[in-house]
Amino acid sequence: MISVIGGVATAIGFVANGVKAGIKKSGNKDLALLYSEVPCVAAAAFTTNRFEASPVKISKLHIRNKTHQAVIVNSGNANCANGKDGDRKARLMAECIAKSLWLDKREVLVASTGIIGVPLPVKNICGKADVLANGLSKDGGRLFAETIMTTDTVKKERAVKIKLGRAVVTIGGACKGVGMIYPVMKAEKHATMLCFITTDAAISKGMLEDALCESIGGSFNMVSVDGDMSTNDSCFILANGMAGNKKITRKNSDYRKFTEGLKFVSAELAKMMARDGEGATKFVEIEVRGAKTKADASAVARKISASSLLKCAISGEDPNWGRVAAACGAAGVGFDPDKTDIYLGSMKALSNGAIAAGYSKEKARKFFTARDVKITVDLKSGKNKATAWTCDFSKEYVAINSEYST
């Protein structure tokens, strides 16, 4: 596996574009399109928030189609809590771009991100459909990544190449998300975090669905910015088979190599979201090991990553590791606190449930001044581990979210 510079248009046969449609008050680009030159198989995962946005509803229906060829996404408006009118407008987004691309509307997937409860100006979107389609290009991948941003400060793209037999397969992706980030996504077989992944691998729809399920559990579902689950979280992957590899139809060595590549791209994009969290000054990695089960390790890591008290302490460079211990105990997982260790970087703070000999608060405080912070918890209850990523809570986060809708 080789990491390469690129994103959603890096794989063979994929092109993209991003334009201004007058949705964002800032006047920045806000309407993006991803397109494959040939039909693809696709898989997707969506938010489990009961108040799901209209584009999530429509994409859940369209993902059941056998083939797909395009994804249209707008930023600046979530098209959520708009009732049946919102559903109608999400369908219209798919219909308008399908017409411009000479596709069936069911071959188009839809996504939106932005403020909730504001009617979507769908006329602006449909009015730009032809311009969007006519401007598709390989270079448009970076425009796509830029256009889907809301309060993001940087584009988030990643790509890898994998050798499958004699063929070289590419997996590329782009995502957005820096606030309202605590995804609990479930794959649909037949954020706001939005992620778009493309590959030129030849793979069956069933195997693509399974690979996506495997990848999101240790990536997007392990990132947290503020502990709030979005109504719009969506992750799409399209595979067009143009790399010419032997089609993956079972869980063989090629499937495992492909899935490892997908896991890498997904995890890297997830970490980019945590690093760019709204107002973030620090990136935090939390590793939990020694758990009875993988689910236990994930639950504890996620609970720690969502601790507002810990995130505030990290922002203030206060080495209050007691907040890590408290979060562990509140995760609903069975373990023995009297055997548990907590590390701040390489320094042990808690040893067998009590403050570690040689622990230095001064050294710990210096550790928390770093841009990257790693916290490790050893439950000593088993052999399973998991990693979660988050960021600190700064005053800037409060400022951004106290005036988001103004």
**Are both 123 and 64 inside the same structural domain?**
yes
Asked if residue 321 belongs to a domain, the reply is: yes
CA distance 82 to 56: 13
CA distance 338 to 263: 35
Q: What is the CATH number of the domain that holds 238?
A: 3.60.70.12
**Are both 380 and 352 inside the same structural domain?**
yes
**Are both 124 and 88 inside the same structural domain?**
yes
Q: Which of 257, 275, 293 is the endpoint of a domain?
A: 275
Q: Which of 275, 305, 322 is the endpoint of a domain?
A: 275
CA 94 to chain centre: 22
Asked if residue 406 belongs to a domain, the reply is: no
**Are both 94 and 235 inside the same structural domain?**
yes
Residue 190 bridge partners (DSSP): none
Q: Which of 225, 256, 275 is the endpoint of a domain?
A: 275
Q: Which residue's entry shows tokens 């509140």? A: 330
**Are both 181 and 299 inside the same structural domain?**
no
- Sign of the torsion formed by the C-alpha atoms of 84, 89, 94 and 99: positive
- Cite the active site residues: 192
Encode the chain (406 residues) as per-residue pLDDT tens digits: 899 999 999 999 999 999 999 999 999 999 999 999 999 999 999 988 888 999 999 999 999 999 999 999 999 999 999 999 999 999 999 999 999 999 999 999 999 999 899 999 999 999 999 999 999 999 999 999 999 998 788 899 999 999 999 999 999 999 987 654 455 555 544 346 799 999 999 999 999 999 999 999 889 889 887 666 788 889 999 999 999 999 999 999 999 999 999 999 999 999 998 888 777 889 999 999 999 999 999 999 999 999 999 999 999 999 899 999 999 999 999 999 999 999 999 999 999 999 999 999 999 998 889 999 999 999 999 999 999 999 988 777 777 666 655 5
CA distance 221 to 302: 9
Q: Which residue's entry shows tokens 């405080």? A: 365
Asked if residue 167 belongs to a domain, the reply is: yes
Q: How many residues does the chain have?
A: 406
**Are both 36 and 179 inside the same structural domain?**
yes
Residue 215 bridge partners (DSSP): none
Report CA Rg, the chain. 22
> Between β-strands 31-47 and 14-19, what pairing exists: parallel, antiparallel or unpaired?
antiparallel
Query: What total of structural domains would you count in the chain?
Result: 2
Domain assignment of residue 18, given as a range:
2-275
Q: What is the pTM of this model?
A: 0.90
Q: Which residue's entry shows tokens 């997904």? A: 266
3-state secondary structure 286-320: EEEEEECCHHHHHHHHHHHHCCHHHHHHHHCCCCC
**Are both 168 and 290 inside the same structural domain?**
no
Other C-beta atoms lying within 10 Å of the C-beta of residue 261 = 25
Q: What is the CATH number of the domain that holds 372?
A: 3.10.20.340
CA distance 393 to 279: 7
